[in-house]
């Protein structure tokens, strides 16, 4: 599991918590996978040879939170899980905050949560590499496509890549999007919590702030991910 971030005048994670659970299709039983979970007090993260997590770039850790980047221009950071995940069905819980002093409350371009085969590879897609193998769930906080009017940002979407697809940053990822909706997650007074669930090749993203039909839940669609991968959270910004 991993997290990568690059921001301009934005910050991710006054608190960053990642929990991965094995989920049965019947949804009757779940098991917390501690080797893939990142929680307080974050002891030894990025500094101990026995740690299950690596830090990269400007990421820092305290006993209270993991901060991927400071609220400064052109910074990048990451936290990666060292242990591959071999679960066929799983659920990832993400607890985070996005905050910053950017103009018009823009707070960077956004961030992404990844479940991929690629590890510790920074790049242009919200701070991580393009042409990835696996799943990216994107929280896009800035509209790059000038003529579009139907989307309200921040906007959350998902993309599955077999390594051959390019994320179209100028069009906010529209050509390769599985599905998406508005998610009001910037500069809130409270932490934001959402769940990514993959069961029977069906991907679902849930969050009480999501602007979508139903109680904060968006069924993104069918996605073939295989049964091994590493997770990542990444972010990037070119706006103040």
**Structure tokens, 189:** 């007074």
**Structure tokens, 46:** 């990025």
**Structure tokens, 197:** 């669930």
Cα–Cα distances in Å, from 229 out to 5, 61, 104?
19, 24, 37
Give the pLDDT of residue 52: 86
pLDDT tens for 8-32 read: 333 344 446 667 777 665 554 567 8
pLDDT tens for 138-177 read: 988 888 887 777 788 889 999 999 999 999 999 999 999 9
Write down the pTM of the prediction. Answer: 0.82
Give the pLDDT of residue 8: 30
Give the pLDDT of residue 159: 94
The total of other beta-carbon atoms located within 10 Å of residue 104's CB is 8
Cα–Cα distances in Å, from 22 out to 17, 31, 37, 204, 217?
17, 5, 12, 15, 20
Between CA 133 and CA 220 the distance in angstroms is 18
Please check the confidence at residue 123 and state whether its pLDDT lies above 80. yes
Please check the confidence at residue 179 and state whether its pLDDT lies above 80. yes
Cα–Cα distances in Å, from 87 out to 132, 173, 179, 197, 204?
19, 27, 23, 12, 16
Give the pLDDT of residue 98: 82
Give the pLDDT of residue 158: 93
Average pLDDT, the chain: 76
Give the pLDDT of residue 25: 53
Give the pLDDT of residue 12: 42
> Which of these CATH numbers, 3.40.50.1820, 3.40.630.30, 3.40.50.970, 2.60.120.200, describes 2-236?
2.60.120.200
Please check the confidence at residue 106 and state whether its pLDDT lies above 60. no
Q: Are 21 and 30 in contact (CB under 8 A)?
A: yes
- The answer, yes or no, to whether the previous bond of 109 is cis (omega within 30 of 0) is no
Give the pLDDT of residue 228: 56
Between CA 125 and CA 141 the distance in angstroms is 13
* 150 Cβ contact partners less than 8 Å away, ≥ 6 residues apart: none
**Structure tokens, 137:** 């769930």
- DSSP string of 41-73, one letter each residue: T-TTTTT-TT-SEEEEET-EE-SS-EESS-SST
- DSSP string of 124-156, one letter each residue: EETTE-SS-EEEEEEEE-S---TT--S--SSEE
Q: Are 112 and 169 in contact (CB under 8 A)?
A: no
Give the pLDDT of residue 7: 34
Give the pLDDT of residue 215: 44
> By mean pLDDT, which of 2-6, 60-64, 116-120, 227-231 is the weakest?
2-6
């Amino acid at each position: 599991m991993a997290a990568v971030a690059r921001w301009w005048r934005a910050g991710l994670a006054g608190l960053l918590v990642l929990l991965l659970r094995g989920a049965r299709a019947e949804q009757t039983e779940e098991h917390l996978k501690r080797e893939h979970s990142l929680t307080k007090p974050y002891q030894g993260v990025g500094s101990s040879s026995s740690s299950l997590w690596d830090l990269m770039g400007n990421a820092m850790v305290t006993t209270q939170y993991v901060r991927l980047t400071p609220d400064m221009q052109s910074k990048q950071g990451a936290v990666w899980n060292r242990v591959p995940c071999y679960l066929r069905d799983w659920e990832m819980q993400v607890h985070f905050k996005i905050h910053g002093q950017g103009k018009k409350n823009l707070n960077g371009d956004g961030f992404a949560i990844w479940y991929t085969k690629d590890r510790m590879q920074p790049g242009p897609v919200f701070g991580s590499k393009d042409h990835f193998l696996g799943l990216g769930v994107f929280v896009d906080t800035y509209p790059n496509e000038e003529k579009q009017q139907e989307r309200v940002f921040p906007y959350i979407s998902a993309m599955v890549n077999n390594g051959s697809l390019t994320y179209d940053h100028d069009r906010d990822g529209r050509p390769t999007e599985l599905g998406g909706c508005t998610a009001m997650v910037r500069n809130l007074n409270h932490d934001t919590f959402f769940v990514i669930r993959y069961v029977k090749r069906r991907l679902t993203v849930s969050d009480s702030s999501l602007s979508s039909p139903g109680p904060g839940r968006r069924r993104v669609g069918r996605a073939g991910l295989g049964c091994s991968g590493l997770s990542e959270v990444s972010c990037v910004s070119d706006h103040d």
